[in-house]
């Protein structure tokens, strides 16, 4: 129904981790499959995305057909990167880091915790961020080019009706259950005593290392970074802008073998040892320890929220006012509405929700508020929240009466897809594209192989 081309960049932005990080026993020896301008596509680029399809199951079509579809998707993206270079389009480190943080947050939600994600891939959070950053940069460039192509495309009410009326009756999409949810978050502070305890423990380890004990052994035994601990705390080489700012500021000032004092970052507290520096890249070891919120403070937060819930239920305070007065979350500025990272909107399908939220919400009626529910914050700290079910729609076939905005979106996407198609057809003629012989038999939608 909706042309897949216009959705390809959005799809790439939300690829689950398996599409980006192949397991060690499935690594591919790289070779160049295609060249678009000066931008290459490697065998591993295709194989890693194929692994994603395979791991998710439900593959339709032969292996060759899937590989060809993936290749064409990558050709689309590389063509747009070429245009971005020609137009001098740039993305800033802040843009990359913001998208990186958003995507990592989504991955952590999918796995259930940062620890589970790191254990699954055998990589620390910083390593995962490093591997993702260049991919995200390229995708953001491609997004900007596509936005430029489609920015002037609009649909009229008559075009929307014509689009909907052209759909076969048995092909009208089913609108899934959708929720709109708001929250009030209470983050118990980590006590000063707990922070001092962790810092003193790290200083003790630092003294032992300075007296001759192995930093790597101490990291294996005591570091709370599961990705790097088993490697003796070693992170591998990182460039500037790829680590926590406070961590990076210290790491780049160390001499080889030197051990830092305690460094505080969003993740917790660290001591760092420089292994090697090559230009603007450093390879370091670190030991991470994370201060914990006490059970007593967690219970206080839970009781406070339950008291707030009673005030709201008795109409002593509105939910919106309670968000403003009591919530510790950044979303308090929009009334506590949960923003869906998949869409950027405020509606959620059940499978997009955190399991704990989904379990709680499915039992509630519209307008009902929950008791305090445990949660993990973005920095993986324990907290509690109240949930308000603001709106719920039941599954149904789309109609102009109830789903006009969604149908308008589909109609616009189709028209934008036509505009992008036309742009691609023209740019292929103007751009050097070389595809390896083994892939030239693919049934491409566009004429990538110029005679």
Query: Which residue ranges make up each domain of the chain?
Result: 4-169+400-439, 177-189+294-394, 192-289
pTM value surpassing 0.85 = no
Sequence-ordered list of residues with C-beta below 8 angstroms from that of 118, at least 6 positions apart, any chain = 124, 125, 128, 225, 226, 227
Q: What is the pLDDT at residue 109?
A: 67
Architecture in CATH of 177-189+294-394? Roll (3.10)
Domain covering 192-289: architecture:
Roll (3.10)
Average pLDDT over residues 104-115: 71
Q: Average pLDDT, stretch 137-154?
A: 91
Residue 158 has pLDDT above 80, yes or no: yes
Query: What pLDDT, in 10s, does the model give residues 347-394?
Result: 999 989 988 999 999 989 999 999 999 998 876 788 999 999 999 998
Are the beta carbons of 225 and 122 closer than 8 angstroms? no
pLDDT of residue 148: 92
Task: Break the chain down into helix, strand, coil percent, rounded to 5.
Answer: 50, 15, 30
Residue count of the chain: 451
Side-by-side strand order, sheet with 382-393: 347-348, 178-186, 382-393, 373-376
| Span 94-123, average pLDDT | 75
pLDDT per position as a tens digit, 160-214: 999 999 999 888 988 889 999 999 999 998 889 999 999 999 999 999 999 999 9
What pLDDT does 345 receive?
86
Strand partners, 175: 396
**7-59 pLDDT, tens per residue?**
344 444 434 344 344 444 444 457 899 999 989 998 888 887 776 566 555 55
Largest CA distance in the chain: 79
- The yes-or-no verdict on residue 334 having pLDDT over 70 is yes
In angstroms, the CA 81 to CA 319 distance is 46
d(CA 392, CA 182): 12
Same fold: 4-169+400-439 with 192-289? no
Angle at the Cα of 39 from the Cα atoms of 37 and 40, rounded to 5 degrees: 120
Instruction: Return the pLDDT at 451.
Output: 63
pLDDT at position 55: 54
At 216-260, the pLDDT tens digits run: 999 999 999 877 888 899 988 877 777 889 999 999 999 999 999
CATH topology of domain 4-169+400-439: Triger factor/SurA peptide-binding fold (1.10.4030)
């Amino acid at each position: 129904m909706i042309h897949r081309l216009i959705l390809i960049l959005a799809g790439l932005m939300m690829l689950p981790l398996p599409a980006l990080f192949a397991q060690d026993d499935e690594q591919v020896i790289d070779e160049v499959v295609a060249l678009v301008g000066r931008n290459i596509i490697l065998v591993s680029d295709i194989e890693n995305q194929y692994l994603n399809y395979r791991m998710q199951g439900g593959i339709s079509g032969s292996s060759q057909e899937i590989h060809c579809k993936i290749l064409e998707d990558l050709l689309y993206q590389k063509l747009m990167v070429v245009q971005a270079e020609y137009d001098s389009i740039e993305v800033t480190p802040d843009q990359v880091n913001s998208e990186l943080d958003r995507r990592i947050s989504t991955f952590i939600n999918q796995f259930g915790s940062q620890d589970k994600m790191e254990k699954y891939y055998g990589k620390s959070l910083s390593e995962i961020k490093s591997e993702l950053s260049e991919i995200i940069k390229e995708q953001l460039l491609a997004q900007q080019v596509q936005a430029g192509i489609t920015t002037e495309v609009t649909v009229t009410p008559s075009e929307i009706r014509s689009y909907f009326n052209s759909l076969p009756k048995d092909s009208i999409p089913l609108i899934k259950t959708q929720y709109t949810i708001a929250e009030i978050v209470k983050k118990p502070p980590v006590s000063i005593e707990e922070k001092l305890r962790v810092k003193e423990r790290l200083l003790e380890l630092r003294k032992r290392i300075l007296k001759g004990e192995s930093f790597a052994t101490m990291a294996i035994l005591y570091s709370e970074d599961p990705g790097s601990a088993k490697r003796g705390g070693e992170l591998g080489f990182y460039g500037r802008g790829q680590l926590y700012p406070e961590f990076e500021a210290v790491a780049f000032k160390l001499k080889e073998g030197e051990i830092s004092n305690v460094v505080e970052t969003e993740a917790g507290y660290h001591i760092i040892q420089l292994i090697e520096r090559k230009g603007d890249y450093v390879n370091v070891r670190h030991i991470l320890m994370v201060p914990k919120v006490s059970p007593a403070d967690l219970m206080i937060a839970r009781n406070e929220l339950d008291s707030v819930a009673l005030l709201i239920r008795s109409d002593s305070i509105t939910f919106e006012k309670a968000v403003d007065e009591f919530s510790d979350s950044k979303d308090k500025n929009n009334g506590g509405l949960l923003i869906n990272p998949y869409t950027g909107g405020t509606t959620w399908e059940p499978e997009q929700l955190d399991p704990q939220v989904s379990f709680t919400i499915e039992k509630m009626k519209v307008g009902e508020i929950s008791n305090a529910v445990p949660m993990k914050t973005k920095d993986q700290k324990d907290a509690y929240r109240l949930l308000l079910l603001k709106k719920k729609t039941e599954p149904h076939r789309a109609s102009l009466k109830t789903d006009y905005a969604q149908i308008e979106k589909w109609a616009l996407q189709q028209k934008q897809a036509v505009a992008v198609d036309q742009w691609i057809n023209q740019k292929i003629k103007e751009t050097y594209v070389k595809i390896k012989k083994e892939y030239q038999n693919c049934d491409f939608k566009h004429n990538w192989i110029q005679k």
